[in-house]
Structure 1
């Protein structure tokens, strides 16, 4: 049995493991993919909005070639931090259930050999949101040419691609596709893309639209998707947009299945959390965006890593202070 079992080896989960180690608490991290799986799944050419110092964990400096780190720089950084800290991380081990109570949790997991059980005094869930994209809720969204994850432009060269969305992800994908040789149309229900789009992307996008390199179809709601394209509802009536591929980039929501199935109390779409990020189930904590439902715009690595410090400090106090978990 360990003092703290962390679910998820993203930046926030790793920050929690580092805090546990430094507070003298035994720990184990379970991750269904690789370390920093979320970053691995980001678009390959993505550049962070945050400066390096704002996404560092454990006091380890993140050195980047530009003013902001790239996806690859951050991915390698978090993996190296886990290695240097000697964190206990089991990758490709997916948690499927949380049972028990404070002091005696059983965490059910699955790896390539089958089901496994782990025991922990406390459980900290840090599952993030990137693997749980918002859906359109229309017919045809499960067709094989409709994609919710974007990696790079190469597969779409020379094809008509509709990008649905109006925030950072949609704009960034549209620009990358255009430069990769795709014929791009961005479809958004608003009058224009969101003003919160990264300041270095917005003028680039606006200029590409003005010159006709990217088509922008605004005030358009997707009614249905067919093998040939999208049925759009617009102020002037129904329109059809031809598309070989549809990339849906309309945001994400907390990946909170484990919390819901563990029976924690919710208020609306968010779990009830204490100031220490403890759920209504004593001993079970939710840090980072997993505890904030659809509100993914206000929880980032920057403040998620602070959640880790607060939650682990609370656990350490219950365990009797620094060093209480060693050899337990």
Structure 2
């Protein structure tokens, strides 16, 4: 019997595992991909918005050569922390079900050898949101030239690329594509690019738009994507005008929503698109906790590594207190 099964080996899941170890809890981390799989899948040239000290976990210093750490540095840092802490992390192991079972949980998983089950007193879900991008809901968005996110820019050289969105990732992608030789247009539904775009990106982007290097269409709704075009409806002046934009590739950057399938299947109560959580990030099912953006539905812009790691510490602290109280009073854990 495990004390804690953690679902997800991102920075928040790792922070929970470290806290569990220091509280003498027997914990295991199950991850369907590799360690910090989300960061691994980020664009290779990503630079964090946070300073290195704000995304440290377990008190391990995060050395960086730059004012803001890079994706490459983060991958090395979190891997080394996991190694130094000797955390029990089982990668390429996907959790496929969580089942309350007489005061504990049965956690079903699938790995390269087949399916299996673990028994645990507590479960903490830290699955994030990167696997669940928001969809446009228009014909053609499943075509092979439509991408959700930007990895490398070379494939887009001399190509007509339409970027849909108006936040950090859309602006950053447009700038990188422009500098890589792509012909870029940005389509956004609102009257302006989001004001909170990173302060070093926004003026750069606005200047490229002013000089005509990047096209920008505001107050515009996407109607359809075809193999060679994006069909849009302009909602501002001249409302009702339909335009057809040449598009060899389409990059959709309209945000994400937390991965919540496991929570919904087990019967967690939701308020809107987010689970109901206690002050210690426990769901409506006793013993089942959530940490990081996994607990906040579509509100992904306010939950980051720096506050998600605090969720993990508070949740694991609550688990440790209950186990201690149960052992001191000989009371069943389910009644503590």
| TM-score, reference length from structure 2 | 0.94
User: Aligned Cα RMSD in Å?
Assistant: 1.6
Query: For each residue in 1:55-86, what CA deviation from the matched residue of structure 2 results, as whole angstroms up to 9, or x when unmatched?
Result: 00000111111100011111111111111100
**Deviation of the 1:321 alpha carbon:** 6.3
Q: Does 1:58 align with 2:58?
A: yes
Partners of 1:203 and 1:102 in 2: how far apart?
Answer: 58
Q: Does 1:118 align with 2:118?
A: yes
* SS across alignment from 1:319: helix
Query: Number of residue pairs matched?
Result: 325
1:301 to 297, 302, 305: 305
* SS across alignment from 1:98: strand
> 1:218 and 1:159, CA in 2 relative to 1: closer, same or farther beyond 3 A?
same
Partner of 1:218: 218
* SS across alignment from 2:250: strand
Partners of 2:63 and 2:154 in 1: how far apart?
Answer: 29
Q: Does 1:245 align with 2:249?
A: yes
Partner of 1:232: 232
Equivalent residues in 2 for 1:125-274, closer than 5 Å: 125-234=125-234, 235-274=239-278
Whether contact under 8 Å (1:132, 1:255) holds in the other structure is yes
Whether contact under 8 Å (1:24, 1:322) holds in the other structure is no
**Deviation of the 1:212 alpha carbon:** 1.4
Partners of 1:102 and 1:140 in 2: how far apart?
Answer: 47
Q: Does 1:284 align with 2:288?
A: yes
Partners of 2:240 and 2:105 in 1: how far apart?
Answer: 57
**Deviation of the 1:149 alpha carbon:** 2.8
Partners of 2:106 and 2:306 in 1: how far apart?
Answer: 30
**Deviation of the 1:297 alpha carbon:** 1.1
Q: Which runs of 4+ in 1 moved over 3 A?
A: 321-324
Whether contact under 8 Å (1:25, 1:323) holds in the other structure is no
Partners of 2:190 and 2:59 in 1: how far apart?
Answer: 41
**Deviation of the 1:101 alpha carbon:** 4.0
Whether contact under 8 Å (1:102, 1:283) holds in the other structure is no
Partners of 1:201 and 1:123 in 2: how far apart?
Answer: 39
> 1:15 and 1:303, CA in 2 relative to 1: closer, same or farther beyond 3 A?
same
**Deviation of the 1:102 alpha carbon:** 7.0
State the structure with bigger RCO (CA 8 A, min sep 6), 1 or 2: 1
**Deviation of the 1:323 alpha carbon:** 10
**Structure 1 segments unaligned to the other structure (5+ residues):** none
* SS across alignment from 2:324: coil
**Deviation of the 1:268 alpha carbon:** 1.3
* SS across alignment from 2:115: strand
Partners of 2:281 and 2:50 in 1: how far apart?
Answer: 24
* SS across alignment from 1:105: strand
Partner of 1:318: 322
**Structure 2 segments unaligned to the other structure (5+ residues):** 329-336
Partners of 1:323 and 1:174 in 2: how far apart?
Answer: 57
